[in-house]
Chains A and B, each alone.
Chain A
Amino acid sequence: MKKIAAAPYQLWMAIFVIVPLFIVAYFAFTTDSGAFTLENIIKTADYAPIFARSIGFAALATVICLIIAYPLAYIIANMSKNVQSTMIMIVMLPMWMNFLLRTYAWQTIIGNNGIINNLLSMVGIEPIKMLNTSGAVILGMVYDYIPFMILPLYTVMAKIDKSIMEAAGDLGCNGFQSILKVTIPLSMPGIISGITMVFVPAISTFIISKMLGGSSNLLIGDLIEMQFLGTSYNPNLGAGISFVLMVIILIVMAFINLIDKSDQEEKVII
């Protein structure tokens, strides 16, 4: 009975997850006439600096998200139940708006004639170049993906039994020590899934860099987009780059899960 119930999901997985993966792999290892080649994979090496930049930006954005989200999730988890749900709703609120629109809004905020620079010029400060920089891309990533960090952290922290914290206090921990020795280890699964949920979309994003990054902040997602929809049509190379990117993400995730496994029995699914 259980098997029958699971069948539609298995079929779904097969059609929409497994098959596309094979199609990507097929394209990655063939030429446009269908012959086997390794050229697409080898050529990916030319774009190593872009891979490096994408990984660097995504990692930086993930760390910033974690630093901002962790205290926030902790504070929310320790509020009264009613306030908690309101706060979580506020965290989710921006996500009700279209992702493109939110990113687009940053253009008007940080542009050379944007809101911030207009305010600065009113008090006599020279305009600062913010839009079309790498910083703007990272800002965009942090802004767009931070709810994905807050939510898993909050979910895990809300479940931590308050009496454990009290026990830590009774045994002589001060507030800071009990966070360090009790809350952080217990919230590890939340940290891991938060990192996963921010890092993976951030590394393959393309529209944020296009909208906020200007001419010289092309990321790996943009490069892939160019090969498929964009201006240098070469789906085989695009598939090759995607394939390499998948392998990199897989390795990174394996590492993160390894850290997790060392002191936690709860595993997180990628």
Chain B
Amino acid sequence: MLKKYFLLTAFLPLFAWGQDDLLSELEEDAGEKTTYTFATWKGTKVVNLQTNELPGKGVLQYTILHRFGAFNDDFFYNFMGLDNAQVRLTLDYSPTTWLNIGAGHTGFRKTYDVFAKYRLLRQSKGAVNMPVSVTGFSSAYYTAQRFDEEAQGFERSFGRRMSYVHELVIARKFSQNFSAQIVPTLIHTNLTERSADNNTQVAIGVAARYKITHMHAITVEWVPVLNPNSYPAGVNPADGFNNFQNALSIGMDIETGGHVFQLFVTNARGVAEPYAFSQTEGSWLDGDLHFGFNISRVFTVR
């Protein structure tokens, strides 16, 4: 009797080698790997802010950015603002997975720019645990706008036409659908409109997205400037000048294969970063809003 039970227990380990063990053996063999988070955002921009995303290695990206005329500026006469559209075009390329370089042109102030975007950290879990993705963005802008040197009394040299923007995008994909980021931003303008203006300004951008389907996401973006330029004291605001406003945008991302369409409403009209962040005059409260879109198209050239 005892012998029989004993025999049974001796065979137990054999039964334990079931299929689940086969699988767990496979899992153990695979070891702990690092899983990197991907698709924190659909596009490389939210609206005016950069996202932490870069196009893949060997990918050429072309973007067309439009900001239409204001809602409160003869909206229907101007065909819903289309007749007063501001345009920006960019072309960029990723030679590696961590670097993207590009150039752009913006109609506002006849601006030409070059930029670089670089991955610093990637959100991951597993063997390496990293709570956030961090991407840097640096850009230099040259305004070719005609300048009346005689009336102004000085020459506008190359340096006096330059401005710069640096963004440090700290992003986290909290779930499949929800991502958010905080973006400390530095804006430097060599020649400001008025002598009392700050040449260097600091902004802390925040943005979030929520995916409502696989292809659609709602996005919100706000870029408060900590040291905004307001009109110097002693000047009458009744002359028609608004203090600069912080850029606030609400939009929707639509992804279709190689395109991302971003449709939104924003009070920032300048399109290029330095104008959008620090020289936005329109206020949401006054209805000084603009329809806008960013469209991107990618080509794998490698």
Bound pair: A and B?
no
